[in-house]
Structure 1
Amino acid sequence: MAGGPGVAVYLVGGHESAYGRELTRFTGSAATIAEAATAPGRGLQDLAEDALASEQTVVAVPMTFGRDPQMVAETAKTLKWLSARAPGRVAVSAPFGTTDHLTTWLRAAANRAATGGGRTALLAVAPHSNPFDEAELHRLAYLVATYGALPEVHATIADDSAELAAAAARARALGAERVVAVPAGFAATLPDADVELAGPLVGEAAVARVVRIRVVAALAALVAGDDGIDVALAADHGHGYAHSHAGDEHPHTHADGTTHVHSHGSAHPHAHADHRPATPVGDGVHGYHQ
């Protein structure tokens, strides 16, 4: 297992992995990278409680490509009270990936699709989630089309064969001779449709490598007194609709522990920036697109 003896590793998923169901192929035996996959909430809580009762250390790895910060925060909320009960034995790692990593992997998929010849469209396929996370996929698809090997890259929100087939028909109506579809998440397959499948997005060996990197870093931070929970709690800060303050003052605590007071004399919508440091380049994620 990724964490070694005495460490229980859990992969936690949201809409990018069918709430953990698409992660089960990485779990359950000595050859895999984690004990179990689950969604935040009761399932994760029960798994963590059982591991702690067995004197294990718990590491939860939020399995997102950067499009589900709410799931990261929910993971931390689930484990926060357990961390208080078992200090030094519960950790939330950095998320599996960021949207920069997702862009890199989608560009790799576009490069692979382009080798097949003909006028090709790539569909980056994800299930329905929420307007903000879906809009983010459209933004990334535009970047891949702008800077990648294919000029036609489309974000495709599809839960079933009919929705995927309709997206493929639109691409052909725009002149595509070939339509290639790739999961924009952790799915190994896609609904049946008249498309070429270029997936999964990331090979299993690459997923295993990244998870191990995340777990090792989380355990090292835990030894140093940082369980990762406070940073994870703030993952969705500023995500979604902008909020407003009318003549209020409120304290705001950053991930580094410093606190200052926001003072707002009039109502105005704004979204706070994420104060967490960016994932460093060269952490073993970029370039892995087996």
Structure 2
Amino acid sequence: MTPGSVRTVLVGGHESADGEDLTRFAGLLDAPAQVSAAGRTLDRAVSDALAAGETVVVVPMTFGRNPTMVADAAKTLRWLAAKNPGRLALTAPFGQPDHLTAWLRTAANRARASDSGDALLIVAPRSNPFDEAELHRLAYLVAANGALPEVHVAIADDAEEVDRAADRVRRVAPGRVVAVPAGFAAHLPGADVEQVAPLMSDAAVIRVIRSRVREALAALAAGDDGIDTGLAADHGHGYAHSHTFEATAGHHHPHGGAAPHMHADGTVHAHGHGEARLVAAGREPVTAASHEPHI
């Protein structure tokens, strides 16, 4: 560790086997970097770097399907940031769900062959019902706008489960089944199925990480460490809840319609209720389909 340098910490959750799938990226970054899971491991990693005099930028490595991990990371960093003002930042998440949709559509294009009966099998490990349900929603969008007529999801932790899922797909759509990981895995477990993996090239992942770090350092210099935004990342995630008590207790938070999304170059911005006005005016809103990433 070098005093005065900037250290990048990549935080992983269920989309990266709690960080194991991120280790190959740490060595590709220009600045010092390391991988951590959320919680105590993150606390130790950041505390050690701060004690060595480094500035630390934490990147939540999620495609938007694990907002709880982002919020948990922010809770860990909140106390450390108070003791080290101006030296710790939390970036925006690596990606958003519409970005994942676009990359899965790209995978469908890569998997497409002359046989119109081909099917795409999107594979992710078990996590929780809400994050798994989100993947099913995104798969529907891929099927509605993608290159293959059949798109299915497999929640699977090993090769045997992937094989069983592929067999189920073949019963519905006999033909070629191609599997793709829905996270940062370089490859899927050694199942008896064709693969298009990884989902994103290492170079593309590195470009986005660098963009996130650059944006976070600029915001930190302007007085925003990103932690308050991260604390609210999982608001509205999970079961619906009432705000009746919160309103009487003076608790307020926004419920805007803006949905942030990421372009292939790593930039993020949001479109709010203006999209509805664009549709009413006969113009198309900006969607993930119109920002498909380039490989």
Smaller-chain TM-score bracket: 0.7 to 0.9
Is the counterpart of residue 13 in structure 1 residue 28 in structure 2? no
Cα 1:282/1:167, change in 2 over 3 Å:
closer
The one-letter code of the counterpart of 1:97 is G
Q: Output the CA distance in 2 between the equivalents of 1:187 and 1:213.
A: 21
The one-letter code of the counterpart of 1:252 is H
1:73 aligned residue (71, 89, 112): 71
Cα offset, 1:288, TM superposition: 4.0
Q: Output the CA distance in 1 between the equivalents of 2:70 and 2:92.
A: 9
* Structure 2 residue matching 1:210: 3-state secondary structure: helix
* Structure 2 residue matching 1:243: 3-state secondary structure: coil
Cα offset, 1:230, TM superposition: 0.2
The one-letter code of the counterpart of 1:71 is M
Q: Output the CA distance in 2 between the equivalents of 1:205 and 1:184.
A: 17
Render the CA deviation track for 1:239-270: whole Å, top value 9, x for unaligned: 0011135566133354xxxxxxxxxxxxxxxx
* Structure 2 residue matching 1:244: 3-state secondary structure: coil
2:127 aligned residue (118, 126, 129): 129
Residue aligning to 2:251: 252
Moved more, 193-202 or 276-285: 276-285
Cα offset, 1:175, TM superposition: 2.4
* Structure 1 residue matching 2:106: 3-state secondary structure: helix
Render the CA deviation track for 1:62-105: whole Å, top value 9, x for unaligned: 00001000000011011110000000101000000000000000
Cα 1:34/1:185, change in 2 over 3 Å:
farther
Q: Output the CA distance in 2 between the equivalents of 1:276 and 1:41.
A: 29
Q: Output the CA distance in 2 between the equivalents of 1:39 and 1:214.
A: 18
The one-letter code of the counterpart of 2:25 is F
Report the count of equivalent residues. 268
The answer to whether the 8 Å contact 1:181/1:198 transfers is: yes
Is the counterpart of residue 230 in structure 1 residue 212 in structure 2? no
* Structure 2 residue matching 1:278: 3-state secondary structure: strand
Render the CA deviation track for 1:212-254: whole Å, top value 9, x for unaligned: 0000000000000000000000000010011135566133354
Query: Aligned runs of 1:56-205 on 2, under 5 Å?
Result: 56-115=54-113, 117-205=115-203
Cα offset, 1:273, TM superposition: 3.6
Cα offset, 1:54, TM superposition: 1.3
The one-letter code of the counterpart of 2:57 is V
The answer to whether the 8 Å contact 1:10/1:60 transfers is: yes
Give ranges in structure 1 of 5+ residues lacking alignment. 255-271
Runs of 4+ in 1 over 6 A off after TM superposition: 274-277
Query: Normalising by the residue count of structure 1, what TM-score does the alignment of the two structures yield?
Result: 0.86
Moved more, 211-220 or 190-199: 190-199
Cα 1:274/1:191, change in 2 over 3 Å:
farther
Q: Output the CA distance in 1 between the equivalents of 2:48 and 2:113.
A: 49
Q: Output the CA distance in 1 between the equivalents of 2:52 and 2:245.
A: 51
The answer to whether the 8 Å contact 1:26/1:33 transfers is: no
Q: Output the CA distance in 2 between the equivalents of 1:70 and 1:110.
A: 28
* Structure 1 residue matching 2:56: 3-state secondary structure: strand
1:211 aligned residue (199, 209, 212): 209
Residue aligning to 2:286: none
Higher helix share: 2
The answer to whether the 8 Å contact 1:109/1:201 transfers is: yes
Render the CA deviation track for 1:259-289: whole Å, top value 9, x for unaligned: xxxxxxxxxxxxx746776246465365446
Give ranges in structure 2 of 5+ residues lacking alignment. 268-290
Cα 1:96/1:245, change in 2 over 3 Å:
closer
Cα 1:247/1:222, change in 2 over 3 Å:
closer
The answer to whether the 8 Å contact 2:7/2:31 transfers is: no
The answer to whether the 8 Å contact 1:60/1:92 transfers is: yes
Q: Output the CA distance in 1 between the equivalents of 2:132 and 2:100.
A: 14
Is the counterpart of residue 278 in structure 1 residue 260 in structure 2? yes
Cα offset, 1:116, TM superposition: 5.5
* Structure 1 residue matching 2:122: 3-state secondary structure: strand
Cα 1:67/1:50, change in 2 over 3 Å:
same
Moved more, 101-110 or 174-183: 174-183
Q: Output the CA distance in 2 between the equivalents of 1:276 and 1:9.
A: 29
RMSD: 2.1
